């Protein structure tokens, strides 16, 4: 989105934040598929931060990053998080698949579960609560469905976004 920093900056910020506890071995950017059926804020990419940490630290790293990332993201973005060991990721072709075809979130969830990979997907559907529209409703057409993007502003209260 114009005026916001992208996932590359965010990945470097996360790596810098974690580097006091774990040596950083590298950061790589992965371009995902551009397709009108996939909503994204700017470039639809993901990043991988490779760090040296014991397997026993995996859950702690996951929880820390899951708290750190969302406040850094622009409104309307759909951040997800995955933490895996090298052994869990070896031979996995899910990322490559996301570069060439539309992939459902359910496949990410199933793939992660099959390898005991920690995953936090976002993009949840809201089925109840009140939506503050500020007298303007700006739905988007996604996968042939009218979709209204919202963000939480209080428990059970959402604010409509222009995406």
**Residue boundaries of the structural domains of the chain:** 7-120, 130-160
- Cα(160)–Cα(102) distance, integer angstroms: 26
Domain 7-120 fold: Alpha-Beta Plaits (3.30.70)
Q: What is the largest CA-CA distance in the chain?
A: 51
pLDDT at 2 over 60: no
DSSP 16-36: HHHTTTS-EEEEEEEEPPP-T
Average pLDDT, the chain: 83
Tokens representing 106 are 């359910």
pLDDT 10s digits, 17-34: 999 999 999 999 988 888
The pTM score is 0.68
Packing angle of the helix pair 7-18, 58-68 (nearest 10 deg): 130
Question: What phi, psi does 32 have (nearest 5°)?
Answer: -95, 170
Q: pLDDT at position 43, please?
A: 72
pLDDT band at 125, cuts 50/70/90?
low
pLDDT at 14 over 90: yes
pLDDT band at 1, cuts 50/70/90?
very low
- Cα(137)–Cα(131) distance, integer angstroms: 10
Q: pLDDT at position 22, please?
A: 97
Q: pLDDT at position 124, please?
A: 58
- Cα(68)–Cα(62) distance, integer angstroms: 10
């Amino acid at each position: 989105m114009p005026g916001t920093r992208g996932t590359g900056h965010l990945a470097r910020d996360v790596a810098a934040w974690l580097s006091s506890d774990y040596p950083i071995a590298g950061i790589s950017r992965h371009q995902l598929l551009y397709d009108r059926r996939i909503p994204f804020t700017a470039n639809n990419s993901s990043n991988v931060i490779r760090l040296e940490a014991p397997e026993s630290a995996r859950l702690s790293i996951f929880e820390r990053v899951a708290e750190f990332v969302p406040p850094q993201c622009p409104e309307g973005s759909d951040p997800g998080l995955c933490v895996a060991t090298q052994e869990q990721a070896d031979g996995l072709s899910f990322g490559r698949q996301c570069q060439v075809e539309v992939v459902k979130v359910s496949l990410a969830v199933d793939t992660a579960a099959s390898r005991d990979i920690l995953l936090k997907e976002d993009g949840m559907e809201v089925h109840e609560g009140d939506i503050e529209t500020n007298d303007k409703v700006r739905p988007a057409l996604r996968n042939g469905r009218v979709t209204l993007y919202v963000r939480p502003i209080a428990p059970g209260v959402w604010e409509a976004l222009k995406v």
